[in-house]
Amino acid sequence: MPSFDIVSKIDGQTLDNAINVAKKEILNRYDFNGSKSTIDLDKKTNEITIITEDDMRLKAITDSIIGRMMKQGLDAKALDFGKEHYASGNMIRKEIKVKEGIDKEAAKKVVKKIKDSKLKVEASIMNDQVRVTAKKIDDLQAVISLCRTEDFGQPLQYINMRA
């Protein structure tokens, strides 16, 4: 039976490139001259840490990261912006988590949307992905186009299409 998987993944190398370009862009800007701002990507925990002096610079850095991600072909919906924390002195620290895998709530929404469409497919949640099976490949392609029209709060990719 034909099947495919719906997943939510970010290419680590592309994300690293986007962060490095954003870092260079910020360091070369005139309004960041003499700033102690830092941007770090922890590849193990998939977390971006920003430390800067004020809200204006923090907004400029996050806008730069989002812009660079868009230019690299990454979806900014994969970023989970937490709250700002005041670090030592007058510095602001913000930790941005990069979402990997479909969380349970989004997976339930995807499965519900597929079942409500009345297509002759079967969707099941498997860990952090959704597997969709059907008798015809056309039904699977209809599910992909259906999922692309809906916003589930995180970017989705469609992989492992098997006939």
In the chain, what are the domain boundaries?
A: 3-8+101-162, 12-98
- Report which residue type is found at 98: V
Put the strands of the sheet holding 157-162 in their side by side order.
121-126, 129-134, 3-7, 157-162
**pLDDT greater than 90 at residue 19:** yes
**What is d(CA 106, CA 6) in angstroms, rounded to the nearest whole number?**
11
Q: What is the pLDDT of residues 52-105, one digit of tens each?
A: 998 899 999 999 999 999 999 999 889 998 888 887 778 899 999 998 888 888
Q: Which of the listed CATH numbers 3.40.50.1980, 2.60.120.10, 3.30.70.860, 3.90.320.10 matches domain 3-8+101-162?
A: 3.30.70.860
The lowest-confidence range among 23-27, 86-90, 124-128 is 86-90
Query: Which token pair is 37?
Result: 């701002």
Q: Are strands 47-52 and 38-42 parallel, antiparallel or unpaired?
A: antiparallel
Q: Could you tell me the end-to-end alpha-carbon distance of the chain, in angstroms, rounded to an integer?
A: 7
- Decide if 3-8+101-162 and 12-98 have a common fold: yes
Q: Return the percent helix, strand and coil in the chain, to nearest 5.
A: 40, 30, 30
The rounded mean pLDDT for the chain is: 90
Q: Which residues contact residue 135 at a Cβ distance below 8 angstroms, ignoring those fewer than 6 apart?
A: 1, 2, 120
Global pTM reads 0.82
> Quick one: average pLDDT of 14-40?
91
Q: What is the pLDDT of residues 84-95, one digit of tens each?
A: 888 777 889 999
pLDDT score at 27: 85
CATH of domain 12-98: 3.30.70.990
